[in-house]
Structure 1
Amino acid sequence: MLRLILDLDPTDPAFGLALDEALLESALRGTDALRFWVNKRCVIVGRSQSVSSEVDLPHLRELRIPVLRRISGGGTVYHYPGNLNVSLYLSCGRELGDVSQAYETLGEAIATALSQHAIAAHHDGNIIQVGGKKIAGAAQARRGASLLYHMSILIRPSKLPIDGLLLAMRPSYATRHVPSHPLPVRSLHEISSGVTVTSVVERISERMSAVLGKRLQQGDYTKRELERSKRLRDEKYGRDEWNLLR
């Protein structure tokens, strides 16, 4: 069984990331879930990245856009209400193979789901592209046999120019830490105006269920997950000691 969680009202980014970790912990205890969620404006760096190398922190503070650090690897991303985040939590993630194999299986599943909207999407590693432009990117975190796979899909274009927020979009970008790999981006609405969040959620849910061989059952967060997420927000994701670690 795959618990389906729909949390589509823009949420506090620190709480959104805390829920990702709390649900991964639930997967460690044997509870699989598929979650669709939306963040308020924020920039999220990969676990091992340097904030000073990735973002113009003074500019972001002027815009009141927080910078947070996630538990998965990969590059820096800008989240805003035009993004749809998809998180998958599996107790036996090793069944999908290694990191590359998991990207292959799950990326193909999501690209296939998007193709049902007459979008010629194809996956390449941890990204999904249309016409050479990125529409989605994924990252992973593993604990024991358990897996967190999450992907951010661009549904609507950003009102802010991303190159003004992410240093990796600038020619002078350089870092001694884990780098970001910027690509030109495009939103689904710019490709097909008929795409809706509801239709994307339905197609991806159906495809994930089929690929994983797990029956979907709509549910919600447990009391334990919510309490754990509040602690993680207050003690980790809401604090500079974690977010500005590097």
Structure 2
Amino acid sequence: MRPIVLATTDPALNLATEEWLLRHTDRDVFMLWRNAPAVIVGRNQNTLAQIDEAFVRERNIPVVRRLSGGGAVFHDLGNVNFTFISLDSAGGGLDFQRFTSPILAAIAALGVPCAFEGRNDLVIDGRKFSGNAQHIWRDRVLHHGTLLFSAEVADLSGALRVSAAKYKDKAVKSVAKRVTNIASHLPAPMDVTDFMDRIMDHVCAGRPRGDLSLTPDEARGAAELAESRYRRYDWNFGASPAYALTRSTRTPGGVVEAHLDVAGGVIRAVRLLGDYFGRRDVAELEAHLAGCRHDRDALAQCLKGVVLGDYLLGVGPDELIDCLF
């Protein structure tokens, strides 16, 4: 099994590296990596339904969709991610305990009692410190998980907090659980890089370590995949299942109640109700918005040249766009 430690903390590039290795590696892989603050959503999720859009926008936190299913997670530099890539999927089924067992053993060796719980979680005293997900490609399996070591829990809850009533769809929802940091349970203090070294030593015990970096071809392939998939709106937001959004917002021009139907990341239909005033039929504005990407920049571009006051007196472009998220 080949050990790898990724030097970058770019979430799009790190997720692209996982996929590139899954498709091209000729050896089993165990990889450790960290991301700068980011929200990572599951393959089958409605991205906007998982995040506090205002929170991540104000803090410029990237949102990236991963290859595997499961729920949304918040990453920062206090969270260590681990990845196993096996060339043998062992029958083709999902098997979380196969890959989490060595991680549990490594944590226990640090003096922290821990256990596997539910479908895919690792816990300390019933509090979650690791969520896990898998993706099978041909006869290969990618298993990855989080290890909350010293993560900012307030940012974690803030980035993922969203009104359950706002979005109506059939996508997979994240389930909130009480979480804990591994560092809080260690018998003696340890920094995150030392923790990563200990995990790597335990999982790869008895195997030669050698160079832990990617080859130039691997790095180049991952960078190309990041550009073509993991940095694109079409993948991170447009790949969401169809959903409906309802939001009522008080604006300087009165209450605006927005109802949107979105599919493929594109607004298919919109209704703007409320107690606002206007001299032109708002149906014209609704028709103009239909077909626009459900994205703030795209909506701002769509509204350029539109005299909003004709339809929604006292409501500017920024207020209307806020109504649509």
If the length of structure 2 is used for normalisation, what is the TM-score?
0.67
Output the CA distance in 1 between the equivalents of 2:195 and 2:223. 29
Q: Is 1:6 the counterpart of 2:15 in the alignment?
A: no
Q: Is 1:86 the counterpart of 2:86 in the alignment?
A: no
Which position in structure 2 is the counterpart of 1:143? 137
Gaps of 5+ in 2: 241-325
Question: How many residues in Structure 1 have an aligned counterpart in Structure 2?
Answer: 235
Amino acid paired to 2:229: K
Map 1:100-115; keep pairs closer than 5 Å: 102-115=95-108
* Structure showing greater Rg: 2
Aligned-residue offset at 1:112: 1.4
Map 1:162-173; keep pairs closer than 5 Å: 162-167=156-161
Map 1:153-232; keep pairs closer than 5 Å: 153-158=147-152, 160-167=154-161, 176-192=170-186, 193-209=188-204, 215-219=207-211, 220-232=213-225
Amino acid paired to 1:43: V
Output the CA distance in 1 between the equivalents of 2:89 and 2:210. 21
Which position in structure 2 is the counterpart of 1:133? 127
Deviation sequence 1:110-169 (CA, Å, 0-9, x none): 11110111111101231110011101111111101111111110110306442221137x
Counterpart pick for 1:76 among 64, 72, 75: 72
- The answer as to whether partners of 1:10 and 1:40 remain within 8 angstroms in 2 is no
SS in 2 for 1:218: coil
Q: Is 1:62 the counterpart of 2:49 in the alignment?
A: no
- The answer as to whether partners of 2:3 and 2:204 remain within 8 angstroms in 1 is no
Output the CA distance in 2 between the equivalents of 1:38 and 1:94. 28
Aligned-residue offset at 1:236: 0.7
Aligned-residue offset at 1:199: 4.5
Instruction: Provide closer, same or farther for how the CA distance between residues 181 and 218 of structure 1 changes in structure 2, counting only shifts above 3 A.
Output: farther
Amino acid paired to 2:120: N
Aligned-residue offset at 1:72: 0.6
Aligned-residue offset at 1:172: 5.7
Greater relative contact order, per chain length (Cα 8 Å cut-off, separation 6+): 1
Deviation sequence 1:61-96 (CA, Å, 0-9, x none): 11100110000111000000001111111111326x
More helix by share: 1
Aligned-residue offset at 1:202: 4.2
Aligned-residue offset at 1:10: 5.2
If the length of structure 1 is used for normalisation, what is the TM-score?
0.87
CA RMSD of aligned residues (A): 2.2
- The answer as to whether partners of 1:108 and 1:122 remain within 8 angstroms in 2 is no
SS in 2 for 1:93: coil
Counterpart pick for 2:93 among 92, 98, 101: 98
Output the CA distance in 2 between the equivalents of 1:145 and 1:207. 27
Which position in structure 2 is the counterpart of 1:119? 112
SS in 2 for 1:94: coil
Amino acid paired to 2:108: S
Percentage of pairs with the same residue:
29
Mean alpha-carbon deviation: is it higher for 110-119 or for 218-227? 218-227
Output the CA distance in 1 between the equivalents of 2:208 and 2:69. 28
- The answer as to whether partners of 2:22 and 2:142 remain within 8 angstroms in 1 is yes
Deviation sequence 1:148-196 (CA, Å, 0-9, x none): 111110110306442221137x776875211212211110111225244
Output the CA distance in 2 between the equivalents of 1:103 and 1:184. 21
Deviation sequence 1:188-209 (CA, Å, 0-9, x none): 1112252443453344334434
Output the CA distance in 2 between the equivalents of 1:59 and 1:206. 37
Output the CA distance in 1 between the equivalents of 2:216 and 2:124. 40
